[in-house]
Amino acid sequence: DTTQEIVYKHYFNVGIATNTDHGLYVPNIKNADSKGMFEIAKEITENTQAAYDNKLGPDTMKGGSITISNVGSIGGGWFTPVINQPEVAILGVGKIAKEPYVDPEDGEIKVGNMLKLSLSYDHRLIDGALAQNALNYMNQLLHDPAMLLMEG
């Protein structure tokens, strides 16, 4: 934006990076904060199909707040995604892989499913502690998926 000013939005539109034969599309789930998981999942499915069919309207890809980019679906691990301006953050999701970890309960080394997440964010708008708290909350939800159904 040429005005170089920060504009605070009062909505949360979540872009879902979608790789297709026609290139990368990032359709948005508009007002995702006011929707439940099933409605969001349905919209992701519909938008993904529209992207594959090259039938996404331009309004579907405008006005994003944050993007989720999943290279795990094509075998990628940890990566550092770059924020799509004028969005304020992007969440990178890697593949789930078996890895060793130290169990905090008994100190034993065990093998478990690990998911690498990387959150890039604009520090002019988001403090590091807030971003880490968001990642901690995502971790909590991933460890107890039933909580996802109680959200929204």
152, pLDDT greater than 60 = no
Contact 12, 64 (CB under 8 A): no
According to the 3-state scheme, what is the secondary structure of 67-116? Answer: EEEECHHHCCCCCCCCCCCCCCEEEEEEEEEEEEEECCCCCCEEEEEEEE
List the domain boundaries for the chain: 14-150
> What pLDDT digit, counting tens, does each position of 36-66 carry?
889 999 999 999 999 999 999 999 999 999 9
Arch. (CATH architecture) of 14-150: 2-Layer Sandwich (3.30)
Span 68-116, pLDDT tens digits: 999 998 899 889 999 998 899 999 999 999 999 999 999 999 999 999 9
- Just list the catalytic residues: 123
- Structural tokens at position 122: 């604009």
